[in-house]
Structure 1
Amino acid sequence: MSDAPLPYAKAASTAYDAALEVIASVEPRIAEATRQELADQRASLKLIASENYASPAVLLTMGTWFSDKYAEGTVGHRFYAACQNVDTVEALAAEHARELFGAPYAYAQPHSGIDANLVAFWSILAHRIEAPALAEKGMKNVNELTDEDWEGLRREMGDQRLLGMSLDAGGHLTHGFRPNISGKMFHQQQYGTDPETGLLDYDAVAAKAREFKPLVLVAGYSAYPRRVNFAKMREIADEVGATLMVDMAHFAGLVAGKVFTGDEDPVPHAHVVTTTTHKSLRGPRGGLVLAQEEFASSVDRGCPMVLGGPLSHVMAAKAVALAEARQDGFRTYAQAIADNAKSLADGLMSRGAKLVTDGTDNHLVLLDVSGFGLTGRQAETALLEAGVVTNRNSVPADPNGAWYTSGIRLGTPALTTRGFGGTEFDEVADMIVDVLSQTQPGTTKAGGPSKASYVTADGVADRTHARIDELLDKHPLYPGLDLA
């Protein structure tokens, strides 16, 4: 998108007006909340790294009668009748994903990123543990096993190990975090980053892998502001006999847009790659699994292994979004995401802010707000009051834990979609520092310092809102889309 009117703005306006009128005839409060959400998004600076703005074509694709279909199974092999049109939708989504990422195989059914990761984990277990056990007995599926053999296989699968990036170093909770299902499925350990630089230390990861000997080595991140050398991660995995799984949910748009190539592109190096289709890909909320051919048959069993009926209307929207990402303009957009992140980081640091790893070379910035005397929760809420939407996030060795945190995570995909460039992101940095430098912790009822409440100097929030309004007027969201 840009600040030029959408080429189909009139048609989209008509479509949304009609849709909201129909919705209001049944539950007007939902229609009003929908209108208000668009108004709120138009009026704020969205800097949440995991959010973006999908095109009207993607959004409208989800509101169709494909929502009414059950289609458990795979293309051409469904457990329900009359799925020929769903077959077309799923095949197109997979085709676009394969072509966009250069992957041998793509699976478009996961409902979310965690579902994609669960499909990947269980597919790896099936491929590495279950399939060899069945082959040894001359069997094709687990239903042929005796109860005793099945219990033995279950124990063996449940005794496997996973090594992933720790949450406070920038990993995701689905990479072996103990409270998450991934931390309960596997015996897990985690690798971190260098305590001085905040950067990945590949020698340390290799040493940890040699000691722990995981079945699965997980790479990828949700709050690490640097690129990863996936060729090195594959070398580590191969050395210890592990399967390399990469979760590229956050940076898939930078892979699709060829900002990350060579050793920084996970697809040629990983056995299995997972992603969401929103975030930097700018599609609907959903997931994908990409894999090498040897894992294809295991991943194809995502339903019934992990998933139920696929969301056919969302798979259709995935196909539209992936088709959009294959257009030439997407590469320009992806490069702008990375350039804008650097502008934001430089703008913050030039004003005295402390960043984890002292910068970024991907789509996100991790700001350590302890230098302002604040917790992440205080910073997040103070910025939200001023019209800047962020999310609090842990920093390495965070003394405030995962709830209050000491950081906020900032991402550039959404505002880049609105047409922001380096000059605008420098101004955004100025606003952020202005708000945080004039915010102080509040006090608890007992009179001590609070980790949640805060006090911002009078007039700061209003002044910031006025600056935001001036910026956003130049870069409207869904330009030309007018609702009655």
Structure 2
Amino acid sequence: MEHEHVRDVDPAVADALEGEVDRQRETLQMIASENHVSQAVIDAQGSALTNKYAEGYPGSRYYGGCEYADEVEQLAIDRATELFGAEHVNVQPHSGTQANQAVYFAMLEPGDKILSLDLNHGGHLSHGHPANFVGQLYEVEQYEVDAETGYLDYEGLAEHAEEFEPDIIVSGYSAYPREIEWERIQEAADSVGALHLADIAHITGLVAAGVHPSPVGTADFVTGSTHKTIRSGRGGIVMCDEEYADDIDAAVFPGGQGGPLMHNIAGKAVGFKEALEPEFEDYAEQTVANAKALGERLAENGFSLVSEGTDNHLVLVDLRESHPDTSGGDAEEALEEAGIVLNGNTVPGETRSPFDPSGIRAGTPALTTRGFDEEDCRKVGDLITRVVDAPEDEAVLEEVREEVATLCDANPLYE
């Protein structure tokens, strides 16, 4: 991947860009929220649309010269509508967090109540953590997964809702490895007159491909990221029934942000077109199959998996029983040194700091994009095991680095 024009102007940035491409080529990207987009998406995001202000929506802008911006945004909307079957789609949010923000701002007043999953149990900052604006503007209580099984406690959620009487219940998670029963959460919301926001940021591509049940048509609002499992331009998306369309659009613009990032929306449009191709379903199915193979191998090697497995693109490993002297942070650092990039992660019943937690989270979306299959992911499981078993053994780290290089060479990226 060349950066000649950048190098002519700014060699330091060009060096960093080329270094990042090499890093991605030469290491295994296993952070569950990351992926490798196509060259077509990269080209769209680096297009001249970055020059264009287009405040407003297609056909109703506050600036002239928006005919091509309108065309691109409408393509993104139409393709997302086809992918997800939603009545109304807004593709302008700059991130999944801003997509969630739009729903809160449209539907809630400061001090209203939100019921969401605890961060240590797989929730997300934008669902109500006190460090986030959500926790600062709204009254938030949080439900949990079952500490024994690692599965969502739907009955406990419903009971909590009866006691708390929230205005909105948030579902969809950043570190939950199991299929989500959207209808059960909707029933809990209906029983107390609450709205239901389903955040599918991690599983957007799996839902689009039909390999995970969709909350569209069940939840009142569905938000997501567009750059994770769906491999489109970086940003967010909001979907809702037509009755909420005007309020959501106003909460995105002008409520929460100004001009849309039209170059990112172009990347979304291209990525959504790719997701409409038959090959994308194969990709999504392989992503899940790879995560299952990875989890099974880690379990065979003595690791404890939260919920004892996975139904989606990630596995969550609890190190407390198998490696009590190794934190998630220790494991993350050693694995990165060996060429495997994932993240330390909190686990249900967390006893350590979230900055140095008790678990690790590993995802397969980016590996699958590179062409990895189940056998490759079982090999990766063995490599992870060798590093976590001996995180300070330089000989082991060097051996694993060499095997990572072999896997990367066999599955090249951005040739």
Classify the TM-score, shorter chain. Answer: over 0.9
Partner deviation per Cα, 1:133-184 (whole Å, 9 max, x = no partner)? xxxxxxxxxxxxxxxxxxxxxxxx2231000011011010111111111111
Shift of 1:369: 2.0
Match of 1:324 in 2: 274
Shift of 1:78: 1.2
Q: How many positions carry a matched residue from both structures?
A: 412
2:346 corresponds to which of 394, 397, 408: 394
Match of 2:64 in 1: 81
State the structure with more CA Rg. Answer: 1
Identical aligned residues as a percent: 43
Match of 1:462 in 2: 398
Q: Which amino acid aligns with 2:402?
A: A
1:160 aligns with 2:143: no
Please say if residues 124 and 295 of structure 1, whose CA atoms lie closer than 8 Å, have aligned partners that are also in contact.
no
Matched ranges for 1:283-322 at <5 A: 283-301=232-250, 302-322=252-272
Match of 1:417 in 2: 369
Shift of 1:121: 1.2
1:280 aligns with 2:229: yes
CA distance in 2, matches of 1:458, 1:30: 32
Q: Which amino acid aligns with 2:94?
A: H
Match of 1:110 in 2: 93
Match of 1:345 in 2: 295
Match of 2:284 in 1: 334
SS at match of 1:402: coil
Match of 1:120 in 2: 103
SS at match of 1:304: coil
Matched ranges for 1:208-247 at <5 A: 208-247=160-199
SS at match of 1:288: strand
Match of 1:152 in 2: none
Shift of 1:458: 3.3
Please say if residues 233 and 266 of structure 2, whose CA atoms lie closer than 8 Å, have aligned partners that are also in contact.
no
Q: Which amino acid aligns with 2:60?
A: H
CA distance in 1, matches of 2:158, 2:193: 12
1:173 aligns with 2:156: no
Match of 1:406 in 2: 358
SS at match of 2:40: helix
Please say if residues 91 and 265 of structure 2, whose CA atoms lie closer than 8 Å, have aligned partners that are also in contact.
yes
Match of 1:446 in 2: none
Match of 1:265 in 2: 214
Match of 1:145 in 2: none
SS at match of 1:279: coil
**Normalised TM-score (structure 1):** 0.84
Coordinate RMSD, CA, aligned: 1.0
Match of 1:385 in 2: 337
CA distance in 2, matches of 1:311, 1:61: 12
SS at match of 1:280: coil
1:33 aligns with 2:16: yes
| Structure 2: runs of 5+ lacking an equivalent | none
Please say if residues 48 and 410 of structure 1, whose CA atoms lie closer than 8 Å, have aligned partners that are also in contact.
yes
Q: Which amino acid aligns with 2:191?
A: E
CA distance in 2, matches of 1:426, 1:175: 34
1:194 corresponds to which of 146, 151, 157: 146
1:357 aligns with 2:340: no
* Runs of 4 or more consecutive aligned structure 1 residues displaced over 3 Å after TM superposition: none
CA distance in 2, matches of 1:477, 1:419: 9
Q: Which amino acid aligns with 1:270?
A: A
Match of 1:451 in 2: none
Q: Which amino acid aligns with 1:226?
A: R
Shift of 1:124: 2.0
Please say if residues 66 and 86 of structure 1, whose CA atoms lie closer than 8 Å, have aligned partners that are also in contact.
yes
Match of 2:44 in 1: 61
Partner deviation per Cα, 1:171-211 (whole Å, 9 max, x = no partner)? 10111111111111211100001111111111100000011
Shift of 1:428: 0.4
2:409 corresponds to which of 438, 461, 473: 473
Please say if residues 369 and 379 of structure 1, whose CA atoms lie closer than 8 Å, have aligned partners that are also in contact.
no
Partner deviation per Cα, 1:430-452 (whole Å, 9 max, x = no partner)? 0111111113xxxxxxxxxxxxx
Please say if residues 216 and 222 of structure 2, whose CA atoms lie closer than 8 Å, have aligned partners that are also in contact.
yes
